[in-house]
Amino acid sequence: MTPTREQILAASAGWVAVLLNLVPGVGNGYLYQRRWKAYWITVAVAVALLTANNIASSSTKGQPQQVGLLGLLLLGPVTAVEAGLAVKRARETS
């Protein structure tokens, strides 16, 4: 019998998912939790932030913009908290 999505999530170590999302900042903890939709959304947001940074940097003369880099620094903690809360919710419902 294959475990359900909720069983896999509840069995995962929350601290591992939080650490993996926090350190690289691109949602690797979602891969650990097997949450593919959340992972691809995080990757899309990271690419959008870096693209916005490149566009902003090319439009200003000689002044590099830090919009994308600051966004990536914020993305890591936000996804880490969300991954930890997802494990907590899965354990409460199981």
Model pLDDT for residues 5-62, shown as the tens digit of each residue? 888 888 888 888 889 888 877 888 898 888 999 999 999 999 998 888 888 877 766 5
Please tell me the distance from the alpha carbon of residue 33 to that of residue 20, in angstroms, as a whole number: 10
More confident residue, 65 or 76: 76
Q: Report residue 39 as tokens.
A: 């992972």
pLDDT of residue 45: 92
Q: What is the pTM of this model?
A: 0.81
pLDDT given at position 82: 92
- Domain range enclosing 14: 5-93
